Structure 1
Amino acid sequence: MIRETRLVENFLDMVKISSPSKDERAMGDYLIKVLEEIGLEVKEDNAGELNGGNCGNIIGILKAPGKKRLLFSAHMDTVVPCEKVIPVVENGIVKSDGTSILGGDDKGGIASIIEMLRVIKENNLEHPEIVVVFSIAEEVGLLGSKSFDIDSYKVDFGFILDSSGKPGKIVTKAPSAARGTIKIIGKPAHAGISPESGINALTVAAHAITKIKLGRIDLETTSNIGLVSGGQATNIVMPSVVLDYEARSLSNEKLNYLLEETFETFKVVCKEFGAKIEWNIKVEYPGFALEDNEEVIEIVKIACKKLGIASETVSSGGGSDTNIYNSKGIPCVNLAVGMSKVHTLEEYIEIKDLVDLSKILIEIIKG
């Protein structure tokens, strides 16, 4: 039932559409047209307006009164560079020409959802009520899913298509994440005439950094300082420095403890040097953990078994819209799309994986 040529052509059409975070208008218009042509009831919400973007989440509904409601979702935005994506098809693989990302993250997920919908309509397949959400600004903080009013759709389960790896991989656990800045405020002074009258903010930060936990803390927890910025000139004792920090953990308790411990360490060191601290770290999204016997997981496993595709449940170190929907009380899993080397110029996806994922989605709706 899957029409491979059509699936691939749709994917190629979409990756050519530039859709950086908060600038998804062209992609949104394309998807509205496609969903309406298939026969869905289509809406656009105000997520763009709420988050400073030019497009809202695109929502499509394929009704089936009296049946369960299933959510299928993928995000429209991509990382940069994505201004002029030139896809290359070679030996069953789609890649970019090396001057941009490909955008399989997450247009591979979108392509398989669209193919599923087309197959349903063409073959008059029985199906549950389907709610499709193509979200905005996922790459910059899951903003689209945070703004989506999922409660009003009374969804029973959700399948988010946004993981690397082969179709059949089911992400059932993902961490909470906290991000933000730590600003150390010292005191400027002339670096050559009177450095002793100043407080070098970088020195303070360096002493604190030697005392905090960074990198892999344990199997569930990580911590990182990714950016450091500050200073005015080489002849001025650095008056302030800003550290961009993030921490993640599958355990909310461990994450909170790590954040408290890190803050206390910086505070104590700042006091020793007479410096000040501005702590602006917030939990960006909550984690989730589903038991392997939950119905939403069993549905995927059964679908894969029927197709002879190996399935496995795994834990992820990254966040996705799946985190947000689970936090809103909707049991959701993140399904692997087949995307590889995402967020790089070497990104690629195998056509077979797009086909296999589409087949899995069809089996899911057939129940």
Structure 2
Amino acid sequence: MINKERLVENFINMAKISSPSLKEREVADYIKKQLEEIGLEVIEDNAGEKFNGNAGNVIGILRAPGKKKVLLSAHMDTVLPCDKVNPIIENGIIKSDGTTVLGGDDKAGIANIIEAIRVIKENNIEHPEIIVVCSIAEEIGLLGAKEFNIEKYSPDYSFILDSSGKPGAGIVQTPFSAKGTIKIIGKPAHAGIAPENGINALTVAAHAITKLRLGRIDSETTSNIGMVRGGEAVNIVMPEVTLHYEARSFSGEKLDNLLKETNDIFENISKEFGAQFENGVTKGYSGYHFNEDEEILSYFKKACENVGIEYSTKSTGGGSDSNVYNEKGFKALTLAIGMTKVHTKEEYIEIEDMVNTTKLVVELLKEIA
């Protein structure tokens, strides 16, 4: 029932289109044309305008009056480098030529959704109302999902095709997150003539960092300083330093406690040295956790059984558009689709996994109809 050649060709066509975050215009137009050809009502919202992007979320609707509503989603943007992607098929695997990412994250998810709906239409399969959302700017903070008016469409269930791992795995737990900058403002002075007249911002930061909990804090919580920037010249006592910080935890309470602890350390050490401290860390997406008896999981499990794919659940340390939709009160489950080594030039996906993911989507729609 799945047209493997058509599925692969469609994915490769999209993979070749450069679509970094907020520059999704060309791939958005390609997807709109595909959805219109299938017979969906297609619109594009204005999500990109808020962030100076050149495209909005692409939304397609396949009506089924009186039926339940199912949202299927994947994001259009990819991480860099994504210009001049050259997909190669080798031994049943699609990969790039090694100079760019492949873009399976998340164009494979879009290809799966489009092929599944084609199969539904071609075979006159009974289906729920289907809402397709191809979102923008997922990779830089789930921006498209945050701007998408999910309340307007009110899906009963949402499935986000955007995780590594074999098809059949559903993401039932994701972390709460926070990130931003921490700035220490010291006092400049000539480093060779009068260093005692200055306050070295890096020294202040270093003393604070020795007291922080960083890395893997416990089984639920991580914390990291990923970038440090500061200084004006080698002969000037460093007047300012900015630290780029993030933290995640499956426990919202643990994250709150960690953020307070981190703030207090920097605040106290800064006072001790006579420096100033600016905390620009803000909370991002909220985590979620599904119990095994959730109805959305029962549909997914049954779909896996129907097509002979092993069902499993897992947690992940990353976020996806599901985090936004769950926070807004709409049940959303992220599905693994087989993408591997994402965000690297070694990224690849097995064609068999693409076919199996598409089968699962078709079966999910049949089960919920």
Aligned position for 2:174: 174
SS at match of 1:160: strand
Question: 1:229-308 maps to which residues of 2 (within 5 A)?
Answer: 229-308=229-308
CA distance in 2, matches of 1:288, 1:52: 30
**TM-score of the superposed pair, with normalisation by structure 1:** 0.99
**Aligned counterpart, 1:145:** 145
Q: Counterpart of 2:140 in structure 1: which amino acid? A: V
Partner of 1:331: 331
Residue identity in the other structure for 1:310: E
> Following TM superposition, by how much is the alpha carbon of 1:289 offset from its aligned partner in structure 2, in angstroms?
0.9
Aligned-partner Cα distance in 2 for 1:313–1:330: 19
Which one-letter code corresponds to 1:355 in the other structure? Answer: V
Cα deviation 1:231-265 (Å, max 9, x = unaligned)? 00110000000000000011110101000000000
Rounded to whole Å, the distance in 1 between the matches of 2:137 and 2:144 is 6
**Counterpart Cα distance in 2 of 1:135 and 1:154:** 17
Deviations 1:48-83 (A, max 9, x none): 112210000000000000000001000000001001
Q: Secondary structure at the match of 1:338?
A: strand
Is the aligned partner of 1:224 residue 2:224? yes
Cα distance in 1 for residues equivalent to 2:51 and 2:329: 23
- Match of 1:126? 126
- RMSD in angstroms over aligned alpha carbons? 0.5
d(CA) in 2 for partners of 1:160, 1:51: 23
- Once the two structures are superposed, residues 328-352 of structure 1 have per-residue CA deviations (whole angstroms, 9 ceiling, x without a partner) of 1111110001000000000000000
Q: Which amino acid aligns with 1:297?
A: L
The match for 1:29 is 29
- Report what 1:18 is aligned to: 18
Deviation at 1:318, TM superposition (A): 0.2
Partner Cα separation in structure 2 for residue 22 and residue 119 of structure 1: 31
State the secondary structure of the residue aligned to 2:196.
Answer: helix
Distance 1:13 1:75 in 2: 16
CA distance in 2, matches of 1:220, 1:103: 29
Give the match for residue 51 of structure 1: 51
Partner deviation per Cα, 1:198-219 (whole Å, 9 max, x = no partner): 1000000000000011001111
Query: How far 1:279 moved relative to its partner?
Result: 0.4
Instruction: Please state whether the residue corresponding to 1:54 is helix, strand or coil.
Output: coil
Distance in 1 (CA, whole Å) between partners of 2:51 and 2:149 is: 14
Of stretches 70-79 and 299-308 in structure 1, the one that deviates more from structure 2 is 299-308
Q: Deviations 1:117-173 (Å, cap 9, x if unpaired)?
A: 100110011000000000000000000000000001011010000000100110011
* DSSP 3-state at the match of 2:226: strand
Q: 2:360 maps to what in 1?
A: 360
Identity score, percent: 64
SS in 1 for 2:225: strand
2:95 paired residue number: 95
Aligned residue for 1:285, secondary structure, equals coil
Partner AA of 1:200 in structure 2? N
> Structure 2: how far apart are the matches of 1:155 and 1:169?
22
Residue 292 of structure 1 and its aligned partner are, at CA, apart by 1.2
Give the partner amino acid of 2:158: G
Q: How far apart in 1 are the matches of 2:356 and 2:123? A: 18
Displacement, 1:364?
0.3
Runs of 4+ in 1 over 4 A off after TM superposition: none
2:117 equivalent in structure 1: 117
Question: Residue 196 in 1 paired to residue 196 in 2?
Answer: yes
C-alpha distance in 1 between matches for 2:292 and 2:327:
18
Q: Which amino acid aligns with 1:193?
A: I
Whole-Å separation in 2 of the counterparts to 1:335 and 1:358: 11
Cross-structure match for 1:82:
82
Partner-residue secondary structure (3-state), 1:112: helix
> By how many angstroms is 1:295 displaced?
0.7
Quote the offset at 1:193 in angstroms. 0.6
The one-letter code sitting in structure 1 at the alignment partner of 2:61 is I
For the residues of structure 2 that align with 1:18 and 1:312, how far apart are their CA atoms? 33
- Provide the aligned length of Structure 1 versus Structure 2: 367
Aligned partner of 1:207 in structure 2 is 207
Deviation at 1:88, TM superposition (A): 0.3
C-alpha displacement of 1:277: 0.3
Partner residue in 2 for 1:8: 8
1:306-345 equivalences in 2 (<5 Å): 306-345=306-345
